[in-house]
Structure 1
Amino acid sequence: MKIKLNNKYIFCLCYTFLIAVTISCNKQNQFNQGKSESKTDGIRLKYTTGIHSILEDSRGNIWFGSYSEGVCLLHNGKLLYFTTENGLSQNQVRNIFEDKNSVIWFECGKGLSTYDGHKMSIYKERNYNAKNEWKLNDNDLWFKGNEIEAYNKLEGNPGVYQYDGKQLSFRTLPVKTKSGHENHYLISTNFVKSKNGTIWFGTYGAVIGYNGSDFKIIDDAFLGLSDKTGHLHTRAIMEDSKENLWIANNGIGVLKYDGKKVINFTEQQKLKKKEGNSLEKVFSIGEDNLGNVWFGTVGSGVWRYDGKSVKNFTKEDGVGSNHIWTIYKTKKGELWVGGANPSGVYRFNGVSFERIY
């Protein structure tokens, strides 16, 4: 039996085939920039310098930023690696954010890069014409200065970049550096937006809050610190569900600010000591779904505070890394920690930790 096909039917058939091929190619091209590696049981992130940042985006992808080896995308069971050869401005990825248009932003040691779902690009546009015109919008993203250290001539002073969804503008912080101390007010943490609307920035020498009209500066002078007590050296900040601001420091431990006064949590818990596991060198803070506050340290594993007491988790509890750069809560409520020495991502299972990437 012969089947006769008219020209219109043949055209529709060919057109449908071309659309399918085009969609398939476009989908593949989204990931051609990065070097891919299949994700199977037992495969691990190839990074050796540490997992510095983590983000689970709105598309269900997971991003892992390294200390000096670029960023990795986990997509549909595959690991795809991006470096300066694929559009990153620098291979240290300190923080990863997603804006309201689902564009992923990478705050690198130097500069910024974005991923629009198709390709990685260095974001070069900057506005320096309104350095002192501070204002707050609902969906702002905030980033460190453009340099690895200190600030450049166009910035002229320590400050932050504000992205309002349209342009990236530099805002000068209300501080002045002394000669030889240009890194003192360099942004050292991610930004934190508190429930009362205040935006907090962590710098090495101060934690600075802006509420839309006034600034709050928590520094050595405010805390009464000196050479004898040790100085502020901020490495992470977080606001918990009770609106306490936690400040992690490299040297003097953890500070807790309730909006009125600051206490040294490490001293309060008697965890300030020179030998053995202590809560002095803290580089990351997070909170789980139960309201427990977690601290990642250098050399002393991970600590959990349940509101009454603290508990230490070390290698014996599955935390294989000596240096915990980041603590992240997934959309499912899982608590992950990313570390170095050796590098890895570890998940808390309710009792102990297990490496997952």
Structure 2
Amino acid sequence: MKRQLRLFSWLMLIIFTTSCKDQVKTDPSKVQSNFQSNHLNTSKAPDSIVRNMVQDGKGNIWMATWEGVFRYDGESFFNVTKNVSSARFFSLLEDRKGNMWFGSIGSGAYYFDGKTFQNFTTKEGLPNNEITSIFEDKAGNIWLGTNGGISLYNGKSFQNYILAENTIVEDKTGKTVPDFSRPPNEVNSIIEDKTGKYWFATRGNTYLYDGNTFTIVSHKDKPFTNVRSIIEDKKGNIWLGGNDGLWRYDSSTSLRESGGEFTNISKNFIGYIYEDKKGNIWTSSETKEGPWVLSLYYSQTFLNKIPAATELNTKDRKMLFGILEAKDGSIWFGSDGVYQYKGKTITDFKSK
């Protein structure tokens, strides 16, 4: 009898210990990705809006779409977030350690190390769950552009900045912004220029941040509003594109100097700006006639005050979004699906 009691106690101890271990391992902010099963199941190419794309260090192309985040390995498409979130995805980034960041509309940001997803929302410290832009600065910090604010993540905690009327202010109270109230406070684009200053483009104003003060970016006393994309080219020039067309800022002049530092390149509405390996500038833009086009500005024409653009026929697409040059030199762009341009032909992956 005593032997049976000892055996029973020993079994209960094993069950209790195993149960406790399971509880310790549980982390509500982490979701097992089931990535291996996704990897084995080939998905069709996305056939909804493709907002942004990046190519990782291994050559895979990642796409933020309305159907989830897709990965293309050169042969097949995989919906990586299919079993993790049903949210629409807007932005993405590969950080310097090779980890991926995905920004969703309504479900916050996801960090993916190749095996496990970690979800960051307002519960973890974000000001809002709509992540419209993601940027990694020179120090390795991650900047998340949200609806209504900007969040700086240092690997441990969030430092938040809230868009107020014609300014941005740091918030230490844990203030949150309601979801799905995007314009005019959506943060569209974030960069750090070669001088260490940050540029933030929003649906409202565009701001320059020197680490202490946020200044509204303007030209001849007119602020740049609803800027959708900002980049710094290889020469240090800043390109801004949005409601007021395409503009180039000559970095050899001071932003506070009057006149001459900004040049208007195009008056068409600009959705995205991208610099390729040769220093050429690509834009997705809406023409006065209606259809959107890919425009290519060759770097050798930049000596002209207003370089001429070569417009590529994209089959009368209603809207164009992100642009990416792959390592093989092909140009990818997002629309109602994903497309690849190889100099003469455009491949529509939905039809393949």
**TM-score category by the smaller chain?**
0.5 to 0.7
- 2:99 corresponds, among 100, 103, 106, to 103
| Contact persistence 1:301–1:322 (CA under 8 A) | no
| TM norm structure 1 | 0.67
More strand by share: 2
Counterpart CA distance in 2 for 1:104 and 1:305 is 30
Query: What residue number does 2:76 align with?
Result: 78
Distance 1:126 1:243, change over 3 A: same
What are the ranges of 5 or more consecutive residues in structure 1 without an aligned counterpart? 1-27, 39-43, 130-135, 151-157, 226-230, 267-271, 273-279
Report the alpha carbon displacement of residue 169 of structure 1 after superposing the two structures with TM. 3.0
Determine if the alignment matches structure 1 residue 243 to structure 2 residue 214.
no
Query: What residue number does 1:347 align with?
Result: 341
Counterpart CA distance in 2 for 1:327 and 1:76 is 17
Determine if the alignment matches structure 1 residue 118 to structure 2 residue 119.
no
Counterpart CA distance in 1 for 2:37 and 2:92 is 21
Determine if the alignment matches structure 1 residue 165 to structure 2 residue 149.
no
Give the letter aligned to residue 84 of structure 2: G
1:239-278 mapped onto 2 (5 Å cutoff): 239-250=232-243, 252-259=244-251, 260=255, 261-266=261-266, 272=267
Query: What residue number does 1:215 align with?
Result: 214
Query: What residue number does 2:284 align with?
Result: 296
Query: What residue number does 2:7 align with?
Result: none
Distance 1:173 1:198, change over 3 A: farther
| Contact persistence 1:35–1:81 (CA under 8 A) | no
Counterpart CA distance in 1 for 2:98 and 2:241 is 30
Give the letter aligned to residue 200 of structure 2: F
- 1:282 corresponds, among 270, 284, 294, to 270
Report the alpha carbon displacement of residue 295 of structure 1 after superposing the two structures with TM. 1.0
SS of residue matched to 1:31: helix
Counterpart CA distance in 2 for 1:175 and 1:290 is 40
Report the alpha carbon displacement of residue 203 of structure 1 after superposing the two structures with TM. 0.2
| Contact persistence 1:104–1:115 (CA under 8 A) | yes
1:217-236 mapped onto 2 (5 Å cutoff): 217-218=216-217, 223-224=221-222, 232-236=225-229
SS of residue matched to 2:41: strand
SS of residue matched to 1:86: coil
Report the alpha carbon displacement of residue 284 of structure 1 after superposing the two structures with TM. 0.8
Report the alpha carbon displacement of residue 195 of structure 1 after superposing the two structures with TM. 1.9
Report the alpha carbon displacement of residue 71 of structure 1 after superposing the two structures with TM. 1.3
Distance 1:346 1:290, change over 3 A: same
Counterpart CA distance in 2 for 1:353 and 1:282 is 23
| Contact persistence 2:284–2:320 (CA under 8 A) | yes
Report the alpha carbon displacement of residue 175 of structure 1 after superposing the two structures with TM. 4.8
| Contact persistence 2:330–2:341 (CA under 8 A) | yes
1:147-158 mapped onto 2 (5 Å cutoff): 150=147, 158=148
1:6-35, CA deviations, whole angstroms, 9 ceiling, x for partnerless residues?
xxxxxxxxxxxxxxxxxxxxxx95332578
SS of residue matched to 1:169: strand
How many percent of aligned residue pairs carry the same amino acid? Answer: 22
Report the alpha carbon displacement of residue 165 of structure 1 after superposing the two structures with TM. 2.7
Counterpart CA distance in 1 for 2:182 and 2:348 is 39
| Contact persistence 1:113–1:120 (CA under 8 A) | yes
| Contact persistence 1:327–1:338 (CA under 8 A) | yes
SS of residue matched to 1:32: helix
Counterpart CA distance in 2 for 1:334 and 1:216 is 38
Counterpart CA distance in 2 for 1:301 and 1:97 is 25
Give the letter aligned to residue 247 of structure 1: L
Determine if the alignment matches structure 1 residue 324 to structure 2 residue 324.
no
What are the ranges of 5 or more consecutive residues in structure 2 without an aligned counterpart? 1-32, 128-136, 168-180, 256-260, 302-306
